[in-house]
A and B are shown apart, each in its own frame.
Chain A
Amino acid sequence: MKAAAQRLTLPFLIFVSALLIVFGKTDTFLYDGVRAALTDRVAPVLQVMRQPMVAVTSAFQGVSDIVAAHRENAELREENARLMQWQEVARRLAAENAELRDLVKLVPENAVHSIAARVIADSGGAFARNVLIDVGQKDGVQRGQAAMTGEGLVGRVAEVGDRTARVLLMTDLNSHIPVELEETHERAILDGDNSEEPRLIYLPPKTEVKVGARIVTGGAGGVFPPGLPVGVVSSIAGDVIRVEPYAELARLELLRIVDFGLSGVLPQSAVPAPRAARGRSGAAAR
């Protein structure tokens, strides 16, 4: 009897695994609660395990910094000179902008408040691109908020626990971010496809795109506030337009979770929608 039960365990567990996958496929949010609870629990362990890694990294960084210091110094000096000119321009424009706003009585934008977060884990897998951060609901993080580095957009908060949250990177298979070309304001979707450079899809027909064109978030869908820097068009091969993110997604350490007061429009944090609608809106949000 016991032997028979033992022999059946394996096929049974294989069956359960397959079933779990199918369930997860039909309801994208099914495991969110469990996942958030688990990551909340293991976060302290991950914090501890990070420490030796931080030491190794900073040692490596130290060596490569010394090697690169001389060249970098020259580059920075040059860049500084150039930026000083830009600063001048920016000051003038800011003043002019303020005057013009005053003139047309423009309502000021919502105050932006941001939460600093540290990356405590990254999936490191072959097909999932996300990172776990050490702030959660208790710190004011909500699903749908934008995650950024100083350089640009990284992705959006996909799942929130009490003390941790998961950020879906824009390179993930399930990431679809409404963006626009900075210059012409043509809208498109930035579609993650598991490569390091996501694709630009659904551009209006006959849109002219050049390599080097800057991409910013678009306001469509109310996912992100418009105008956050995303990246530049890096290659165009037929229909395939790829965007190189400004943020260095392979080496994320500190993130800024930006709250623009827009997350309320995302379906999950709003009133629980009926099941059918949930599936659909879920697909859009993931």
Chain B
Amino acid sequence: MFFELSRDTGYVTRIVPFVMTLIFALVSVVPLNLPGFSVVSPAFAMMAVFHWTVYRPDLLPPSAVFASGLFLDLLNGTPYVGLSALIFLLARTAVMGQRQFFVNRTFPVLWLGFLAFAAGSFALLWILVCLLHGGLVGLRPFVFQAVLTVACYPVGSYILALAHRALLART
């Protein structure tokens, strides 16, 4: 019902990308107590930032990217508040230059693009954490989280595409 209504109210639909990114940030901190599952979980918010930057950058402007990065940082309880915000902003800038390449391509191409996006983001994250911590920090969790994030991208992408189609069809 709510979705039916919101379809016609432009204002509500326009905040969908931002709200989805926040929800994805929340999902990434929900504990997955699956047996054998590792301590890291996929970086869902990163998927949302990538998706909206490729398809509707106008609806996820730098200010929204910044706000969702900050939200994630505060939620995560990391000592470096602003780090995700910084990385999301830089990553968005990188994708903006290439987005024409991704629009209207098949999913594997998009996935490959996300692979590059995630690899770059995590590499930068690792470098910044090392700098801030003042010493080398174990690389394995970063690699692991990057792999996990890329592996889970189809799921995240599917959900984002659903929301995209359902709510933004008329804007």
Contacts and interface: CB of A to CB of B under 8 A. Distances in A.
A174 B129 CA distance: 12
A42 B77 CA distance: 13
A49 B80 contact: no
Interface in B92-107: 93
B29 A122 contact: yes
Contacts of A20: 70, 81-82, 85
Given A17-B89, A194-B138, A9 B79 contact: no
Interface residues of A, number: 60
B137 interface: yes
Contact of A9 (B27, B63, B132, B133): B63
A119 interface: yes
B31 interface: yes
B30 interface: yes
Interface in A21-38: 21, 24-25, 28, 30-31, 34-35, 38
Given A57-B32, A60-B35, A126 B125 contact: yes
B142 A46 contact: no
B138 A193 contact: yes
B59 interface: no
Interface residues of B, number: 54
B30 A53 contact: yes
Where chain A touches its partner, the secondary structure class is mixed
Nearest to A252: B31
A50 B30 CA distance: 6
Contact of A39 (B65, B75, B122): B75
B125 A10 contact: no
Contacts of B28: 124
A21 B77 contact: no
A249 interface: yes
Contact of A121 (B29, B93, B132): B29
A20 to B, nearest CB: 3
27 contacts: A9-B61, A13-B65, A13-B85, A14-B86, A14-B90, A16-B66, A17-B66, A17-B85, A17-B89, A18-B86, A31-B74, A39-B74, A46-B29, A49-B30, A53-B30, A56-B34, A60-B34, A64-B35, A122-B39, A124-B28, A124-B29, A126-B125, A126-B126, A127-B78, A127-B137, A173-B133, A250-B39
